[in-house]
Amino acid sequence: SDPRSKHFKAMRHQDIVPEHIFGRRLELLTLAVLGQLGAEANWYRIAREWIYGDEPVTELGRQEAEFYAGR
């Protein structure tokens, strides 16, 4: 955020609820940990499991689905 930018003043006066900031921080830190671990997966397919209820694409996802199906 360059103080010389015409958008800087507007940015400084934006109101963002604390819950939104917390969520973005949590998301960023999660991605940072995954990057440090060198985690590689098809995150699009994994996210579709959670968001749209698609079939699991990983072994852990299948185990989780089996666990929750038995509850």
Q: Are 29 and 2 within one domain?
A: yes
Task: Give the pLDDT band of residue 46 (cuts 50, 70, 90).
Answer: very high
Number of domains in the chain: 2
Please give the radius of gyration of the chain, using alpha carbons only, rounded to the nearest integer.
19
The answer to whether residues 27 and 58 belong to one domain is: no
**Are 30 and 64 in a shared domain?**
no
Residues 31 and 55 in one domain: no
CA–CA gap between residue 71 and residue 63 (Å, rounded): 13
Structural domain range at position 15: 1-39
The candidate with the shortest Cα–Cα distance to 61, out of 48, 69, 49, 70, is 49
Q: How confident is the model over 13-33, as pLDDT tens digits?
A: 888 898 999 999 999 999 899
Higher pLDDT, 56 or 6: 56
pLDDT band at 1 (very low <50, low <70, confident <90, very high): low
Query: What's residue 53's pLDDT?
Result: 92
**11 and 34 together in one domain:** yes
Question: Cβ distance 61 to 49 under 8 Å?
Answer: yes
Q: Are residues 19 and 47 in the same domain?
A: no
- 6, 31: one domain: yes
C-alpha torsion sign, points 42, 25, 65, 52: negative
